[in-house]
Amino acid sequence: MLANGVRVVLQAGTGLILARLLGASDLGTYAWAMAISALMVVPAQFGTSTLLIKESAAAVAEGDQSKLKALWLWTLKTTAVASVVSIALLLGAIFAFQEHISTLDWRVFLLAVAVIPFAVLINLGEAALQGTGNTSAGLMAGYYVRPLLFIGLLLSIWASVWAVDPVNAMLAQLVAHALAAVTVVIQMRRIHGETLSATPSPASVSTGWRGTAMSFLLIHGQWVVLAQMDILILGAMSSAEQVGLYRVASLAAGFVVIGTLAMRGVFNERLSNAWTTGDTQLFKDRAALGCMMASAVGLPIAAVFVFFGAEFLGFAFGAEFETADTVLLILTLGQVALLLRGSADAALAMTGHERAIGRMTTISVIVNLVLNLALIPIFGATGAAAATAIALSVQSVQMWWLARRTLKVDMGFLASILPTARMVRRKLGLS
């Protein structure tokens, strides 16, 4: 919870600093390039980060250092090839369509491309460390070192030359990623020096790794596409200023679900434990409590954005971002839809319904894509916000309905009020 909370705060701090230093148009150029970079990390990583957590944990349980070394070598080779292919295809595609992308700045874009291999290395190192039980060490580079370095570099550039532009901002991002990658390597050598010196198992142990990695690639890729699609299409079909306004509104709207993000690891584990032990009442109580705690944090924030959106944007990010208040309002409603579905997504994930979640995410991606292509040319950033809010609402209704049908539990906000009240009364000894 602490790590997730710190990460959200640092992300918000980074977004606020960038908005203040760059302004809407330059922020749009930077944000579009970073969205491309974040998206391309997915194929470059080839689904191996989730595989690493799963298989590293299995190898540790078996006490097989040779298998662990073989897994890590296979992952490095696989992602090296995938990274080269992904970057080559990306460069070719952008070069072919460059005349149609209004937000493209080649210097910023190429620096963003250079971030990709470092981001992959950070993710792989973190996954390997978490898979071997070193969770705190695994979170250090990505959750703390990288954002803190980036903020420090941005402020240093501003203090030195009194000007930050998309180029030196992206250069700071590249340096922060590179140093965070070095941190991961040092952590791996410090914690797993003996494993790194071991003789790897024969190549035959890798049987099935590629197929499993591809499955994880498809699942994780859909979530990333859903998260980045609006920025990518908006940047290709509208102006850099529209992208900048949308990016700030999206960052602010994300605070509506900060409670859900902070508690995800804690509640997921507890839901899984209650389901595994067959304690249906405990499962329902924990799902209801998770919903109400997330809503207690998110709904007041949503109310502020609904009634004082322009004032908030102007105070936090600067007067030029006040015009994004309509975008913020629409995106906030989409985030509220996530709160109202309650703990349905976590409950489904913890009870073996991953494929159903994948299908629902695919539907959301398709809805988002179609609506973005239809609405952005007409309404710009407002159209992108509407597309995202509708896609999130469709996904939320699907997950709520599936949880109710398969788990026989209504996990929506309204249905969670009474169970939570009864649980609180029991804890206080009032019943």
pLDDT in tens, 161-195: 778 999 999 999 999 999 999 999 999 999 999 88
* Predicted confidence band of residue 132 (pLDDT cuts 50, 70, 90): confident
278: burial class by Cβ within 10 Å (0-12, 13-18, 19+)? exposed
User: Does residue 287 have a pLDDT over 90?
Assistant: no
Instruction: Give mean pLDDT, residues 24-29.
Output: 94
Q: What was the pLDDT predicted at 80?
A: 95
How many angstroms separate the CA atoms of 146 and 33, rounded?
18
- Tell me what the mean pLDDT of segment 8-31 comes to: 90
156-187 burial code (b ≥16 CB/10 A, e <16): ebbeeeeebbbbbbbbbbbbbbbbbbebbeeb
What confidence score (pLDDT) does residue 101 get? 82
The pLDDT, as a whole number, for residue 389 is 94
- Name residues whose C-beta falls within 8 Å of residue 112's C-beta, 6 or more positions apart in sequence: 33, 34, 36, 37, 170, 173
As a three-state string, the secondary structure of the chain is: CHHHHHHHHHHHHHHHHHHHHHHHHHHHHHHHHHHHHHHHHHHHHCCHHHHHHHHHHHHHHHCCHHHHHHHHHHHHHHHHHHHHHHHHHHHHHHHHHHHHCCCCCHHHHHHHHHHHHHHHHHHHHHHHHHHCCCHHHHHHHHHHHHHHHHHHHHHHHHHHHCCCCHHHHHHHHHHHHHHHHHHHHHHHHHHCHHHHCCCCCCHHHHCCHHHHHHHHHHHHHHHHHHHHHHHHHHHHHCCHHHHHHHHHHHHHHHHHHHHHHHHHHHHHHHHHHHHHCCCHHHHHHHHHHHHHHHHHHHHHHHHHHHHHHHHHHHHHHCHHHHHHHHHHHHHHHHHHHHHHCCCHHHHHHHCCCHHHHHHHHHHHHHHHHHHHHHHHHHHCHHHHHHHHHHHHHHHHHHHHHHHHHHCCCCCCHHHHHHHHHHHHHHHCCCC
209-242 pLDDT, tens digit per residue, is: 777 677 667 666 666 777 788 898 998 888 899 9
**Band of the pLDDT at 271, cuts 50, 70, 90?**
confident
pLDDT reported for residue 419: 82
**Whole-number pLDDT of residue 328:** 96
Ranking 110-119, 264-273, 280-289, 388-397 by mean pLDDT, the lowest is 264-273
106-120, 125-139, 258-272, range with greatest mean pLDDT: 106-120
